[in-house]
Every structure is written in C-alpha cells, then in structure tokens.
Amino acid sequence: MKNILPIASVLAFILSISMTKPCAAQGSVELQIISPFKEITLTDVKATGNKKNGMVEVSMNFKNESSQSAGVSLSLGGFPDFGITDSKGHKYKLFTDVNAVNSNKGYQNIPFIQFGDKKFDWVALVKQEFPSGEMRKLSVRFKSTEAASPALTDFHIRCILSLDYANVGDKLYELKNLKVDWK
C-alpha cells in the first residue's frame, strides 16, 4: 500500500502537467520562417497595419549569406507563386491587369510591391542582384478586408536564385503566423 501512494502521486502530477501544457500552447502562435535556400535568408520580418485606412505593410530583408553575388528573382504571378492568407481566411494576390481585379474569384488585390530599388510594374517578376553580405528589402502593401486581422497565417513567395549567374533553384519562401502590429 505504501508503494502505490507515491506512484499515484507521480501519475497525478504527470497527468496535471500534460493537461495544462496544451492550454498554454494554444494562445501562443510563433512566427515560422521557411527559407529554402541557405544562401539567402530572411531578416527583419514584420507586418504593420494602419487602423485608420486598413492598409497592411509587410516588409523583410533578403540577405545574401553566400560568398558569391546573388541574383534573386521573385515571381509574383498567380496565387501559388505569390500569395497572402490572413487569419480570417481572406486571400490576397497580385493582379497584373486592373481589369482582372473584377473577376478576382475571391482574391483581394495587392497593389504595391517593391524589392530593393525595383517596383512591380506590369511584369510579374522583380529581380535584384546583390553582392555577398548585402541585403535587399521587400515591401508589400495591401488593403485588409478585415480591419485589425490579427495575423497573416500564410505568406509565400516563389524565388528563383542564381549565384554568380548560375541557376541554383526555384523554391518557395514561406512565412507562417506573422502577427500584424496595428497602429
């Protein structure tokens, strides 16, 4: 009987910890950055929302960690290549033709994209060449359909990487659970 009491106490303790741990984890959602290329990392990732006009700006730096010059092309055409989903389930993509916005099939427009010194115009690709150790900033602005949406659950960008003009690959960068700081 003496041996059963300590075992029962230990089991009760373990059970109480396992019951409370999921509750603590539910409220905490951490930003996940999926960088498919070790040569180009993402830094200073943030999303800021303007409460007055509903605009959200997402910015991040692409940093060249390789010892070679990097060519980074971001493909912006179509939702699978470049898209954002907010925590309310609304989806955003770039429309290369203003007439296409009217036939959006549930997608909202992303009107502003700038990568380094290149702004999106009508070509659904922005490219930057930069040497080892340098960074280029990507800024994306869009009007949120749900004012004060707390987070962007998915933000993905198709990247075509070349190092010293040799093609390295074509992969997706992904941000998961990016909190929007509304001001």
Give me the pLDDT at residue 44, please: 98
- Asked whether residue 16 is assigned to any structural domain, the reply reads no
- Asked whether residue 5 is assigned to any structural domain, the reply reads no
Check: CB of residue 29 under 8 Å from CB of residue 89. no
Domain extent, residue 107, equals 31-182
**Which run of H or of E encompasses 166?**
strand 166-182
b (16+ CB within 10 A) / e for 104-130: eeebbebbebbbbeeebeeebbbebeb
Distance CA 74, CA 151 (A): 23
Q: What would the mean pLDDT of 130-143 be, rounded to a whole number?
A: 96
Question: How many domains does the chain divide into?
Answer: 1
- Asked whether residue 113 is assigned to any structural domain, the reply reads yes
- The model's pLDDT over 64-78, given as tens digits with 9 standing for 90+, comes to 999 999 999 998 877
- Asked whether residue 169 is assigned to any structural domain, the reply reads yes
CATH of the domain at 74: 2.60.40.2360
Check: CB of residue 47 under 8 Å from CB of residue 55. no
- The model's pLDDT over 85-99, given as tens digits with 9 standing for 90+, comes to 999 998 888 876 555
Give me the pLDDT at residue 123, please: 63
- Asked whether residue 81 is assigned to any structural domain, the reply reads yes
- Asked whether residue 18 is assigned to any structural domain, the reply reads no
- Asked whether residue 25 is assigned to any structural domain, the reply reads no
- Asked whether residue 13 is assigned to any structural domain, the reply reads no
DSSP string, 77-132: SSTTTEEEEETTS-EEE--SSGGGGGG-TTEEE--EEEETTEEP-SSSEEEEEE-T
Question: Nearest 5°: CA angle at 109, between 180 and 37?
Answer: 65
Whether the predicted pLDDT of 104 surpasses 80: no
